[in-house]
Amino acid sequence: MSVDIVSRSAWGARPWTNDVATVPLSERTEFYIHYDGGTPVSRTGVAVPQAIEREHLGNGWSGIGYHFVVDQAGTVYEGRGWNLQGAHCPNHNRSAIGVQIAVGGDQAPSDAALRSARALYDMACARTGRQLAMRGHRDGFATSCPGTRLYAWVKAGMPAPGGGSTGGGAATPYPGYLIRRGSTGGAVRVVQSVLTRRGYSVGRFGADGVFGGDTEAAVRRFQSDQRISSDGVVGPVTWSRLMP
Ligand SMILES: [Zn+2]
């Protein structure tokens, strides 16, 4: 499974307040999972990384400290990215890619979130050319993070859940960026499964998370039936019509 990463500019990240050191991929040996803390997360879309950024700026950090953030729709947001030092766990900010899965307390992570986090792990291993150690924050620091559920998932080897769950189904909120030809990932799967359920075939590959020509054609047919602009791009208006 490929991972579509929403760039810092796409989610409205603020500029780094200080220069952040770069770290060569050759130094990465670990992959750290975090959660948001003791309180369940109700924010969705770009508000998720934006809230974390505010908190981390409030800590006096240069900006968001995680390398990536994964929300309940399975969308991945760029934080420090692949090449910068993190601010997520003392003594592990260079050696580890730190990923927050945006749940808190005993909130269950969605299948989509776990699939995306696992795909990000696989991508990290591919980019570094090594099998990164799977870690929860508490493996490197005295903390409850990443919570009971996510820690058990890490210890189980971070399995990617199967099945067709999209992490929220019909009630999934708009992720905050345009979903269009070339997009991949959790939000695309949501669009494809809803289109399919509503009778708009997205082609023989089904809800594969890859927005190609068949998906674009299905979006256009749906938009035409809805008498809205048939541009084949899923923005907030099309999304709201798709999600009853
Ligand atoms: Zn943590």
If you measure from the C-alpha of residue 99 to the centroid of ligand 1, how many angstroms do you get, rounded to a whole number? 9
Does 49 sit behind a cis peptide bond, omega within 30 degrees of 0 on the bond before it? no
- Final residue before a domain boundary, out of 122, 155, 188: 155
Classify the phi-psi angles of 35: left when phi > 0, otherwise alpha if psi is within -120 to 50, otherwise beta.
Answer: beta
pTM for this one? 0.69
Better-predicted residue by pLDDT, 91 or 168: 91
Please choose, from the candidates 39, 78, 38, 79, the residue with its C-alpha nearest in 3D space to the C-alpha of residue 56: 79
- The HSE-up count of residue 15 (CA atoms within 13 Å, CB side) is 3
Domain tally, the chain: 2
Distance (Å, whole) CA 239 – CA 244: 9
If you measure from the C-alpha of residue 34 to the centroid of ligand 1, how many angstroms do you get, rounded to a whole number? 4
Asked whether residue 183 is assigned to any structural domain, the reply reads yes
Which residues have C-beta under 5 Å from ligand 1, the single-atom ion?
Answer: 34, 137, 145
Q: How many H helices and E strands in the chain?
A: 7, 6
- The HSE-up count of residue 89 (CA atoms within 13 Å, CB side) is 27
For residue 199, the enclosing domain spans 178-242
Let me know whether 151 and 185 are in one domain.
Answer: no
Q: Per-residue pLDDT for 170 more than 70?
A: no
CA distances from 111 to 43, 68, 70, 73 (A): 18, 18, 12, 9
Asked whether residue 165 is assigned to any structural domain, the reply reads no
Query: Mean pLDDT, to the nearest integer, of 134-153?
Result: 96
Let me know whether 22 and 120 are in one domain.
Answer: yes
Query: Mean pLDDT, to the nearest integer, of 121-146?
Result: 94
**Any idea which of 82-96, 136-150, 170-184 has the lowest mean pLDDT?**
170-184
Let me know whether 9 and 40 are in one domain.
Answer: yes
Instruction: State residue 101 phi and psi, 5-degree precision.
Output: -95, 120
